[in-house]
Structure 1
Amino acid sequence: MKHLTDADRHLLADRLQAMKRSAVDEIRGTSSDVEATLQPQDHEVQNHADEAEAERLGDVRFAEIEIDRARLLDIEQAEQRMAAGRYGVCMDCGDPIPRERLLAQPIAVRCAACQTAAENKLRP
């Protein structure tokens, strides 16, 4: 974190807070949509296609919630690294993550080179 100025750290902390608020709002909004989707509509005629579509939409919304929860966890972990003084250090090589990368991706845990290597390992 030594490569970041106090102003950088405050800016990044503010960005993480904004990302956190956005993720929480997304989770709340999607949760409300799921509840509305699951409520029976007594006034509408239902057929199997309608039921299948409602189930598909519910599945998509649950997947969206899981993505938002994972993003929220990443944000909280970034905040913890910041509080512990480990923010902005690559978890693989230990080098500082460039300021520009952190500004673009405040939850980054790897420098660009290590992130590329990690992604390449996942490819078949």
Structure 2
Amino acid sequence: MRHLDTADRRVLQMQLGMMRRQLLDELRTSAPSAQAALAESDREVKTRADQAEAERAGDVHMAEVEIDRARLEEIEHAIARLASGRYGICEDCGDEIPRARLLAQPTAIRCMACQASDEARRRH
């Protein structure tokens, strides 16, 4: 984390905190609306097509929630790394993650080379 000065760390901490708050707000507001939509769809289902559409909408909502939960985990992991002094260090090679990458992607855990390698490995 030597490549990040105090101001950088403060900006990143604020950015991660803001991302966390926004995501938690999104999760809080989506839960009641999803429950209301499910309750309403139970009352309104008149055909198999309506039922299939209601199930599809529920599946989409659950997928969105899972994506949000994964993003929240990434944010929490970044906040913990920042607090422990491990932030900005590539988890694969141990090199410093460039400042510009961290400012653009505060939850980054890999340098660009290791990230590209990881993505190529996942494709194959």
Q: TM-score range by the shorter chain?
A: over 0.9
Aligned to 2:3: 3
Separation (CA, whole Å) in 2 of partners of 1:107 and 1:85: 14
Separation (CA, whole Å) in 2 of partners of 1:78 and 1:97: 13
Aligned to 1:23: 23
Aligned to 1:83: 83
CA contact (8 A) 1:34 1:62 kept: no
Which sits farther off after the overlay, 94-103 or 37-46?
37-46
Separation (CA, whole Å) in 2 of partners of 1:92 and 1:39: 46
CA RMSD of aligned residues (A): 1.5
Separation (CA, whole Å) in 1 of partners of 2:108 and 2:42: 48
Deviation at 1:44, TM superposition (A): 4.2
Letter in 1 for 2:94: G
Q: In structure 1, list runs of 5 or more residues that go unmatched.
A: none
Separation (CA, whole Å) in 1 of partners of 2:70 and 2:41: 32
Deviation at 1:41, TM superposition (A): 5.5
TM-score, structure 2 as length reference = 0.93
Count of residue pairs the alignment pairs up: 124
Aligned to 1:111: 111
Aligned to 1:123: 123
1:66 partnered with 2:66: yes
TM-score, structure 1 as length reference = 0.93
Separation (CA, whole Å) in 1 of partners of 2:57 and 2:106: 31
CA contact (8 A) 1:20 1:75 kept: yes
Which sits farther off after the overlay, 95-104 or 24-33?
24-33
Q: In 2 relative to 1, CA 42–95 (structure 1 residues): closer, same or farther, beyond 3 Å?
A: closer
Separation (CA, whole Å) in 2 of partners of 1:44 and 1:115: 47
Letter in 1 for 2:91: M
